[in-house]
């Protein structure tokens, strides 16, 4: 079936004022203003009231944390005390509650215009060994692309780490399950809907041995690697005290300094470290809202990009955001970076759109998504500007960021509409909210 998304109000693509033709799940043709498709189409969608973006790509999240948003035990704390307050609650996670948490996070992301999501799940208390399988099931049901990060923690409090014993696993168990989910689910081919990344959690919750062996296993399966790094000064102090090395040196020792590695936060890197990351092609997921909520600091976005690092965006965990809206993250990224660089022109609306699309795709090691161009996957987010907040806006693309768009009207993944008229077809949002809220009460 050939679909013509015709005459958009605005579009982030070169010379495409006449719209986009979609066929077989991919972009077949871009049309200049006033032109028509080269071949007949089966259906036309009038986009004259819509701004069309490449589908947004979320490169860091913790879906299970939707169950502990704005939790009194953790409000107004920085990262280490925040984690210590929430670990005991998360240790009670059940498969049914996790399923609801994943469904809520993915639904929120879809409604914000996200078409590909990366979840970093690293908690495996007894009974939750199927966490990756659950995430894959839910992504397939909603039709969203997903990189499921098989996270891990094997350094508990008794070993000098931060997490309690109840949420960690031993190295052998972690590596065996990592190989299992890679064999079952990881599809590295262009157009794939599910990919697996290996994601030891952080320097203060995993051993150097697990980091190195995870890198070796990922290389065997052509899978990406992901971890938190350089998020806080506490993390830096821990690495210096325990290992006598800065976090990036630990990463390099473990064999992670290579393309298809991407890091969450990347705040406390020196200029020299930014250059090293760029030379290695290591990506950075910028999480502006979470960084602000936890007062973690400012990511050197411009320096990292200038050095050659792919730069993407992520909403991070719902308990440190406290939401799963990627479109809102673009506006926060714009504001925080202008504040950091003390310049209104340092970062533009189109820069943050690029970070959330093409940059995020590069972080995940994907060249088939993130742009509107012939041959790319037909992942698109369409926004209307008929709310009062947009009245008077002259640049429709910039208005999405500057005027605070937060919900897509239409979302397409692999050529199929997954959001229609601002809703996910056949999904009862009210019922989902009731079930999820009831589950969340178990973690009060």
Beta carbons within 8 Å of 125's beta carbon, 6+ residues apart: 90, 91, 92, 93, 166, 167
Burial class (CB in 10 A: 0-12, 13-18, 19+), 57: buried
In a domain, 26, yes or no: yes
- Write the CATH number for 304: 3.20.20.140
Backbone phi, psi, residue 358, to 5°: -65, -40
Q: What is the mean pLDDT of residues 93-121?
A: 98
Q: How many CB atoms lie within 10 A of CB 278?
A: 18
pLDDT digits (tens, 9 = 90+) for 183-217: 999 999 999 999 999 999 999 999 999 999 999 99
Inter-residue contact 298 to 331 (CB < 8 Å): no
The pLDDT of residue 209 is 98
Enumerate the H helices of 187-263 as residue ranges: 208-221, 233-243, 247-253
Q: Are residues 46 and 181 in the same domain?
A: no
Kindly indicate the confidence band of residue 76, based on its pLDDT and cuts at 50, 70 and 90.
very high
Q: Are residues 65 and 191 in the same domain?
A: yes
Give the end of a domain, one of 322, 342, 363: 363
Beta carbons within 8 Å of 432's beta carbon, 6+ residues apart: 100, 103, 104, 107
The pLDDT of residue 223 is 98
Residue 60 structural domain:
56-363
- Asked whether the bond before 322 is cis by omega within 30 degrees of 0, the reply is yes
Q: Are residues 280 and 312 in the same domain?
A: yes
Q: Are residues 87 and 159 in the same domain?
A: yes
Rg (CA), the chain: 21
pLDDT digits (tens, 9 = 90+) for 224-275: 999 999 999 999 999 999 999 999 999 999 999 999 999 999 999 999 999 9
pLDDT digits (tens, 9 = 90+) for 127-167: 999 999 999 999 999 999 999 999 999 999 999 999 999 99
The SS3 of residue 406 is: coil
Beta carbons within 8 Å of 200's beta carbon, 6+ residues apart: 122, 151, 152, 153, 206, 210, 211, 214, 227
pLDDT digits (tens, 9 = 90+) for 292-328: 999 999 999 999 999 999 999 999 998 899 999 999 9
Q: Are residues 44 and 104 in the same domain?
A: no
Q: How far apart are the first and last CA of the chain?
A: 49
Number of domains the chain contains: 2
Inter-residue contact 73 to 16 (CB < 8 Å): no
Q: For helices 79-90 and 233-243, what crossing angle results, to 10°? A: 90
Distance between CA atoms of 411 and 423, rounded to whole angstroms? 9
The pLDDT of residue 7 is 98
**What is the residue-averaged pLDDT of the chain?**
97
Beta carbons within 8 Å of 428's beta carbon, 6+ residues apart: none
Q: For helices 95-112 and 131-142, what crossing angle results, to 10°? A: 40
How many residues are listed for the chain in this entry? 444
Kindly indicate the confidence band of residue 422, based on its pLDDT and cuts at 50, 70 and 90.
very high
Beta carbons within 8 Å of 134's beta carbon, 6+ residues apart: 95, 98, 99, 102
Q: What is the mean pLDDT of residues 270-289?
A: 98
pLDDT digits (tens, 9 = 90+) for 349-402: 999 999 999 999 999 999 999 999 999 999 999 999 999 999 999 999 999 999
- Write the CATH number for 31: 2.30.40.10
């Amino acid at each position: 079936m050939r679909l013509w998304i015709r005459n958009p109000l605005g579009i982030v693509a070169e010379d495409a004022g006449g719209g986009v033709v979609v066929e077989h799940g991919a972009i077949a043709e871009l049309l200049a203003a006033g032109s028509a498709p080269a071949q007949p189409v089966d259906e036309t969608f009038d986009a004259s009231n819509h701004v069309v973006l490449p589908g947004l790509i979320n490169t860091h999240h913790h879906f299970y944390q939707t169950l502990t948003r704005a939790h009194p035990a953790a409000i107004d704390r920085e990262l280490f005390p925040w984690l210590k307050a929430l670990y005991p609650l998360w240790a009670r996670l059940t498969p049914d509650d996790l399923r609801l948490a994943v469904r809520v996070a993915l639904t929120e992301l879809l409604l914000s215009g996200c078409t590909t999501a990366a979840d970093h799940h690293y908690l495996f208390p007894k009974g939750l060994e199927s966490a990756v399988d659950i995430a894959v099931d839910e992504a397939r049901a909603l039709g969203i692309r997903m990189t499921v990060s098989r996270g891990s923690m094997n350094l508990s409090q008794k070993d000098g780490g931060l997490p309690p014993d109840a949420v960690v696993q031993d190295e052998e168990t972690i590596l065996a399950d990592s190989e299992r989910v890679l064999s079952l689910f990881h599809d590295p081919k262009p157009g794939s809907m599910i990919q697996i990344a290996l994601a030891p959690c952080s320097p203060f919750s995993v051993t150097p041995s697990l980091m190195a062996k995870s890198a070796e296993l990922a290389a065997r399966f052509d899978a990406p690697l992901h971890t938190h790094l350089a998020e806080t000064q506490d993390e830096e102090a821990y690495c210096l005290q325990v290992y006598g090395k800065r976090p990036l040196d630990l990463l390099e020792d473990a064999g992670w300094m290579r393309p298809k590695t991407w890091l969450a936060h990347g705040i406390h890197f020196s200029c020299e470290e930014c250059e090293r990351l760029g030379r290695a092609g290591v990506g950075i997921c910028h999480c502006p809202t979470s960084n602000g909520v936890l007062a973690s600091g400012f990511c050197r976005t411009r320096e990292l990009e200038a050095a050659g690092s792919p730069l993407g965006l992520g909403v991070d965990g719902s308990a440190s955001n406290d939401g799963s809206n990627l479109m809102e993250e673009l506006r926060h990224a714009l504001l925080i970076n202008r504040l950091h660089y003390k310049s209104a022109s340092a970062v533009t609306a189109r820069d943050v759109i690029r970070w959330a699309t093409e940059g995020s795709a590069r972080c995940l090691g994907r060249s088939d998504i993130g742009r509107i161009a012939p041959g790319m996957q037909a992942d698109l987010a369409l926004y209307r500007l008929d709310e009062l907040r947009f009245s008077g806006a002259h640049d429709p693309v910039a208005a999405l960021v500057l005027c605070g768009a937060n919900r897509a009207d239409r979302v397409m993944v692999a050529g199929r509409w997954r959001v229609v008229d601002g809703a996910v077809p056949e999904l009862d949002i009210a019922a989902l909210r009731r079930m999820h809220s009831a589950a969340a009460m178990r973690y009060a």
